[in-house]
Amino acid sequence: MTAQGTVLDDIIAGVREDLAPRRARVDDAAIARLAAAAPPALDARAALVGDGTTLGLIAEVKRSSPSKGHLSGIPDPAALAATYAASGASAISVLTEQRRFSGTLADLDAVRARVDVPVLRKDFIVEEYQVLEARAHGADLVLLIVAALDDECLAHLHDLVVSLGMQALVETHTAEEIDRALALPAPLIGVNARDLRTLDVDLHRAAGLLARIPADRVAIAESAVASVDDVRAYAAAGADAVLVGEALVTGEDPAAAVAAFRAVARRGRVAPTNGDPR
């Protein structure tokens, strides 16, 4: 479980509080029925791998963050997502956490209705209900954060994701968390440059951890991308794809940025060494 008193703890406490009124409106049985009735999920892994020559890109609809505060109003998340998709984004990430990221499930609904690429529900998933909710609202991909879950809960939620036809992006930040993620049959492993306990960011450290991910998994670098040079640094470290939000929503030309990021060549991963960062 998470350490006491971290930023991540505070976020999760708010997530649990905000879940209660949604659950009161749509109970567990009803959300399960809605999830079962949703159209089949798209294959996010295939979309991210593509033809294997260039990096995959998950482009994010993100209004705010705990570290930077307000980033962009995004009055029309569907239009922004459509711009991303038209510019070559492999998948779209939609923040649905409301307190720190100003996201909503309505954003997810709008994006899902507009684009035909896979959609990630990006939130702090700690209960079954949220996974069912993601499928009911059309998500193809669900974020599971290793730091937020013990092994039993992580495995249980991952199994539920798979049973609903979705895939999980299993997010890590340390070597130990990567090892925990690799104990699952999850095809998508993320390495977040941001420590969610403190909000500190270190691209170099995250890049060094990518080599720990086997070649049969898709390694996704998250956070710390401000320019195409940062994307190239992740590619050189062995990333198969990158997840980018802030640089896109605060930039002047998100379409051009998406195209530039997607053009970065994939380099493959080297074998890990004894000096892997931890």
Active site amino acids:
60, 62, 122, 171, 192, 222-223
- 170 within 8 A of 186, measured Cβ to Cβ: yes
Using CB atoms within 10 A of its CB, is residue 85 exposed (0-12), middle (13-18) or buried (19+)? Answer: buried
DSSP string, 205-272: HHHHHGGGS-TTSEEEEES---SHHHHHHHHHHT-SEEEE-HHHHHSS-HHHHHHHHHTSBP---PPP
Half-sphere exposure of 27 (CA within 13 A, CB side): 1
Tell me, what DSSP letter sits at residue 214? -
Distances (CA, A) of 267 to 3, 63, 99, 127: 36, 32, 38, 37
Distances (CA, A) of 34 to 3, 38, 129, 227: 35, 6, 12, 40
Partnered with residue 243 across adjacent β-strands are 58, 222
- 247 within 8 A of 188, measured Cβ to Cβ: no
Tell me, what DSSP letter sits at residue 266? P
- 95 within 8 A of 71, measured Cβ to Cβ: no
Tell me how far apart the alpha carbons of residues 165 and 39 are, in angstroms, rounded to a whole number.
10
